[in-house]
Structure 1
Amino acid sequence: MKIAFEASFARDLKHIRNKQLLQQVQQVIENVKEAATIDTVRGLKKMQGV
């Protein structure tokens, strides 16, 4: 799957010092990239609200 990030997301990641959290974020990004469709992304929940 093709994904895009806002520049602010990259800046936010630079401020995270917890290496375990950064590894988890990296793993999630890789899982999304490997997914063929949004339905195959594990742990994805439908947003609620407006």
Structure 2
Amino acid sequence: MIKKITTECLFDTLLVILFLVSVLQIYYIIQEIEITDYKLKLTKLYIEKISKNEK
């Protein structure tokens, strides 16, 4: 009886840890996408500025 409860608790704990890790991975991916988007916008502005200066 005690061994079964311990195994179930361990399984639940592992599930919670896996869930938290997946949430953190999703958050990290979203942050990376936002940073990449910001860099693209900066690059576009820089290219526009250069093209205006050349005219």
Using the size of structure 1 for normalisation, the TM-score is 0.38
- CA radius of gyration, larger in: 2
Report the structure, 1 or 2, having the larger helix content: 2
Instruction: Select the structure with the greater relative contact order (CA < 8 A; seq sep ≥ 6).
Output: 1
